[in-house]
Structure formats: structure tokens, C-alpha cells
């Protein structure tokens, strides 16, 4: 079964390609390398022992996308990772975010329809919940106005898929996966996160600080209404997250989905504070981390973590990797860079 993976050279995409192949699927990668590196392909090949087919195109380029579908006539489904993902950058360049994230989905849906490809797994985000009224968030928790253009693109893409799927002649079957915070790297340390420039995200900033590339971590605020005053997030190991895509694809192919668009939270079901992550990193690496407390980062959600019950009950999906082990894998990866 051939699965097209847009953004397959990226952080989550590369791990999903590995898990798909190891589960017996034939992944085919589309990537324009706007926020990924060629080295991810070598890492994938080193893990799998075979090269995965790659098309170097922008997913929003309709003619190029059409040529991929024409060259790969038996695509059973698509996992659509390709998107811009930096919250801060999206405030600076909103148009680029809407064009890329919404534009590529529109193009993809049109080409999938043209070629009769009916199965889609879409990368959504817990950012669609905004600042939730109650924790943990379930899939039924109402979405709130997005705090950034990035978040808005995820909400718009979800809405777009729902509207397309409500058409009388609809043939599209979609699973929306709302990711919490992916961290860590493949156990082989051959693929992992490759942030360009100064990392925005917590874990690459921590590992770069421990590696001596950054002087210290600034923790964005310790006066939130949380157990130790720092933000709470649900940190999920990227390989666990990748495996959720494999079960989602299988469910679509088996036509087991109960409705044209199904939504699942993909998190561990546990919240951890930033300070807990720092402590877990120190335990995993055996190093003390240099950090200080700074002001709050605008747009940060005080606390969010998943109710992971639906994914467990419906998909049979449960995370396996602890926070300490996830951070150990991130540290192992950092040391290869």
C-alpha cells in the first residue's frame, strides 16, 4: 500500500516514513526542503536499509503535484505534514502562512479528487483549543479563537476538510490528528529535529544549551496558575506520534471510520511543567542545565494537555515512551549534530 507523505523529510514526517515502512507500507515522500534537510533522507535510508522515493516539489504547486500523482498511480492515501509551523514567524508573515498551509491543502484536495485518492491523515494541532476552559481537553472541547495566524491555519484547514467532506458527492475520508508537543528523536539517533537557527521550541533549546551552543534557557514565566508557576504541556515522543499515523492510515484503508472526518487528540494524557521538563532532562542527560526565569512569552497558553481516551479506545493507540526517555533520545540526537 503506497502512502504519499507530504513533508516527509521534516521532523514528524521523517519519523512517520520510518514507521510506515516498518509496518509494511510503501511511503513516497514529497518535500520542498524549505524547512528540512537532505540529511533526513540519508537517516531514513540508514534506518530502513532502502531509499524511500522522493519528489522535490512544493505541495502548493498544482502542476507538480499532479505529476507526482500521475507518476505514482496507486496511491492509497496521503499524510499531509507539509506546512509552516513557527508561531512567532506566522505573526510576522501571516500571508505566507495562509498561502502555504491553506493553499497546499486546497491544492492537495483538488488533486486527490482528480486522481480518486480518498484517504487523508491531516496534521492538526492542540493549538485549535486556544486557552481551554477545562483540562484535559477532549476532542469535544470547543475550539477557541487562535492566538496566531499559524493556529488559525490549522483551524481553517480543519474547517475546510469538514466542508469538503459534507458535500453530497464527497468521497474523502479524513482523520484529523491534533498533536500535542512532539519531542525527542528516533532511538537510532539517525533522524530527529533539525531547527533552523535559534530554536523556538523548548526541547531543542534545552539540548542546544546543554551542548554549549546556547548560553542558557530562559523559562518564559513562572507566575502562571500551575503547580510550579511554569506552563504545562503534553510532551509526546515523536516515534509514538509517528505510530499514531500508521494506525490512522490503517483505519481509513479498512473503512472503519464512523464518519467522513474523525478527530483524535494525540498526546500522552499527562501534563508537565517547563521546570519538570528541565528536571527530566537533567536526569536523562546527567547534566545540570543553565536556565533562568524570564518574562512570559506573548501568546503562550498557560496549560494544556490531552485527554487521550478516544485515541486509545477507537484507534487502540497509547504512547509508550516516558518523558525522561523522550528527553534522553533528544539528547542522544543532539550529540550527533
Q: Which residues bind ligand UD1 (CB under 6 A)?
A: 85-87, 125-127, 181, 200-202, 205, 217-220, 231, 233, 274, 297, 300-301, 304
Distance CA 96, CA 89 (A): 10
Query: 80 forms bridges with which residues in the sheet?
Result: 6, 122
Query: Nearest approach, Cβ of 258 to ligand UD1 (angstroms)?
Result: 26
Distance CA 332, CA 184 (A): 9
Query: Nearest approach, Cβ of 297 to ligand UD1 (angstroms)?
Result: 5
Query: 95-130 as b/e, with b when 16 or more CB fall inside 10 Å?
Result: eebbebbbbbbebbbebbeebebbbbbbbbbbbbbb
Cβ proximity of 257 and 282 under 8 Å: no
Q: Measured from the CB atom, is 202 or 308 closer to ligand UD1? A: 202
Q: Measured from the CB atom, is 153 or 174 closer to ligand UD1? A: 153
Q: Which of 25, 97, 129, 150 is catalytic?
A: 150
Q: Using CA of residue 85, residue 87, residue 92, residue 97, what is the dihedral sign?
A: positive
Question: Most distant CA pair in the chain: distance in Å?
Answer: 59
Distance CA 41, CA 196 (A): 17
Query: Nearest approach, Cβ of 132 to ligand UD1 (angstroms)?
Result: 9
Q: Measured from the CB atom, is 27 or 204 closer to ligand UD1? A: 204
3-state class of 120 per DSSP? strand
For the chain, the distance separating the N- and C-terminal CA atoms, rounded to the nearest angstrom, is 34
Query: Nearest approach, Cβ of 327 to ligand UD1 (angstroms)?
Result: 13
Residue with cell 496534521: 123
Distance CA 24, CA 44 (A): 15
Cβ proximity of 235 and 148 under 8 Å: no
Query: Nearest approach, Cβ of 166 to ligand UD1 (angstroms)?
Result: 26
Lookup: cell for 217: 534557557
Give the chain's length: 337
Q: Measured from the CB atom, is 40 or 202 closer to ligand UD1? A: 202
Cβ proximity of 293 and 203 under 8 Å: no
Q: Measured from the CB atom, is 117 or 308 closer to ligand UD1? A: 308
Q: Measured from the CB atom, is 119 or 153 closer to ligand UD1? A: 153
Q: Measured from the CB atom, is 65 or 278 closer to ligand UD1? A: 278
Strand extents, DSSP E, 246-327: 261-266, 272-273, 291-294
Query: Nearest approach, Cβ of 239 to ligand UD1 (angstroms)?
Result: 18
Query: 138-167 as b/e, with b when 16 or more CB fall inside 10 Å?
Result: ebebebbebbbbbbbbbbbbbeebeebbee
Active site residue 129: no
Residue whose C-beta lies closest to ligand UD1: 231
Query: Nearest approach, Cβ of 91 to ligand UD1 (angstroms)?
Result: 12
Catalytic center residues: 150
Amino acid at each position: 500500500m503506497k502512502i504519499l507523505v507530504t513533508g516527509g523529510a521534516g521532523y514528524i514526517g521523517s519519523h512517520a516514513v520510518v514507521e510506515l515502512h516498518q509496518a509494511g507500507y510503501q511511503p513516497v515522500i514529497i518535500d520542498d526542503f524549505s524547512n528540512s534537510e537532505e540529511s533526513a533522507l540519508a537517516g531514513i535510508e540508514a534506518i530502513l536499509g532502502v531509499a524511500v522515493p522522493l519528489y522535490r516539489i512544493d505541495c502548493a504547486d498544482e502542476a507538480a503535484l499532479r505529476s507526482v500523482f500521475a507518476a505514482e498511480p496507486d496511491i492509497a492515501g496521503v499524510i499531509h505534514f507539509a506546512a509552516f509551523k513557527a508561531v512567532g514567524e506566522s505573526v510576522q508573515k501571516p500571508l505566507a502562512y495562509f498561502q502555504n498551509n491553506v493553499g497546499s491543502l486546497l491544492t492537495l484536495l483538488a488533486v486527490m479528487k482528480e486522481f480518486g485518492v480518498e484517504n487523508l491523515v491531516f496534521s492538526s494541532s492542540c493549538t485549535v483549543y486556544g486557552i481551554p476552559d477545562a483540562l484535559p481537553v477532549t476532542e469535544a472541547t470547543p475550539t477557541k479563537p487562535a492566538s496566531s495566524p499559524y493556529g488559525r491555519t490549522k483551524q481553517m484547514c480543519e474547517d475546510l476538510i469538514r466542508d469538503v467532506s459534507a458535500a453530497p458527492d464527497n468521497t474523502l475520508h479524513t482523520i484529523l490528528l491534533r498533536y500535542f508537543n512532539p519531542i525527542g528523536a528516533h532511538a537510532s539517533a539517525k533522524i530527529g529535529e533539525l531547527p533552523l537557527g535559534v530554536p523556538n521550541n523548548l526541547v531543542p533549546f534545552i539540548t542546544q544549551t546543554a551542548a554549549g551552543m546556547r548560553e542558557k534557557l530562559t523559562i518564559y514565566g513562572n507566575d502562571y496558575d500551575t503547580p510550579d508557576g511554569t506552563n504545562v504541556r503534553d510532551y509526546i515522543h515523536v516515534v509514538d506520534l509517528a505510530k499514531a499515523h500508521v494506525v490512522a492510515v490503517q483505519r481509513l484503508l479498512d473503512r472503519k471510520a464512523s464518519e467522513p472526518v474523525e478527530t483524535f487528540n494525540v498526546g500522552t494524557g499527562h501534563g508537565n511543567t517547563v521546570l519538570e521538563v528541565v528536571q527530566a532532562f537533567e536526569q536523562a542527560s546527567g547534566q545540570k542545565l543553565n536556565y533562568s526565569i524570564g518574562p512570559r512569552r506573548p501568546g503562550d497558553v498557560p496549560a494544556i494537555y490531552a485527554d487521550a481516551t478516544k485515541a486509545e479506545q477507537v484507534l487502540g493507540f497509547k504512547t509508550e515512551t516516558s518523558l525522561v526517555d523522550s528527553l534522553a533520545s533528544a539528547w542522544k540526537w543532539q550529540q550527533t549534530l
